[in-house]
Amino acid sequence: MPLGGGNRCGCCQKTVYFAEEVQCEGKFFHKSCFLCMVCKKNLDSTTVAVHVDEIYCKSCYGKKYGPKGYGYGGGAGTLSMDTGEALGIQPAEQEAHHPTNNPNPSKYAQRFGSSESCPRCGKAVYAAEKVVGAGNSWHKSCFRCAKCGKSLESTTLADKDGEIYCKGCYAKNFGPKGFGFGQGAGALAHAQ
């Protein structure tokens, strides 16, 4: 303990007495000096984030040192375009995106989607939109009856020659025809 009765504050370098002391990462601070270096919010043990000798609130720390780019929004479904410049944070320069025309996609791409194509539209089927029926992978929007367009489920479909149908359309088009195979309760169907 230095001469003068207490440790030195990690922020203002003045003596910190026990009654006003806050400890963080082996350093001592006055309660009034234990503030985020960017936004100046009061910090406590649950809201502090340390980088080398600097202390931040978790929000400012994330903006300054956290991951950047699409998908790393402010949380709870938000997309934030705030780069932190108003808080004194200098955004890093980002390289321009250069798409590849690689004819040999990675094993990851081959394994998770690009090798399966929808029999209805011919486009790639990815896991998030995949429905399996009649031995094939379909898009949710393509998983409909080929005749009437009714949305299907794996338990309500019938397939013929690689196409899927609702049970009603399948029965009308491919089921038995003639006397005794009517559409319901005593109806007569004229087969052609």
Per the domain annotation, does 10 fall within a domain?
no
Per the domain annotation, does 2 fall within a domain?
no
pLDDT confidence of residue 70: 60
Question: Looking at 14-18, 43-47, 78-82, 149-153, which range is the least confident one?
Answer: 78-82
Domain end point (choices 43, 65, 87): 65
pLDDT confidence of residue 18: 84
Domain end point (choices 65, 94, 121): 65
- Quote the CA–CA distance of 43 and 50 in Å, as a whole number: 11
Q: Is the pLDDT assigned to residue 95 strictly greater than 70?
A: no
- pLDDT range class, residue 134, cuts 50, 70, 90: confident
Per the domain annotation, does 89 fall within a domain?
no
Per the domain annotation, does 60 fall within a domain?
yes
Mean pLDDT computed over 127-146: 85
- Quote the CA–CA distance of 155 and 166 in Å, as a whole number: 10
Half-sphere exposure in the Cβ direction for 8 (13 Å, CA): 6
pLDDT confidence of residue 113: 42
Residues 73/67, Cβ–Cβ less than 8 Å: no
Q: List, for residues 49-74, the tens digit of each pLDDT value.
A: 888 888 889 888 888 887 766 655 55
- Quote the CA–CA distance of 46 and 152 in Å, as a whole number: 50
- pLDDT range class, residue 174, cuts 50, 70, 90: confident
Per the domain annotation, does 84 fall within a domain?
no
Domain with 40 in it: what CATH number? 2.10.110.10
Per the domain annotation, does 166 fall within a domain?
yes
Q: Is the model more confident about 11 or about 87?
A: 11
Which residue type, as a one-letter code, is found at position 171? Answer: A
Q: How many domains does the chain have?
A: 2
Per the domain annotation, does 184 fall within a domain?
no
| pTM greater than 0.85 | no
Per the domain annotation, does 190 fall within a domain?
no
Q: Could you tell me the residue range of the domain that residue 29 belongs to? A: 21-65
Domain end point (choices 65, 82, 100): 65
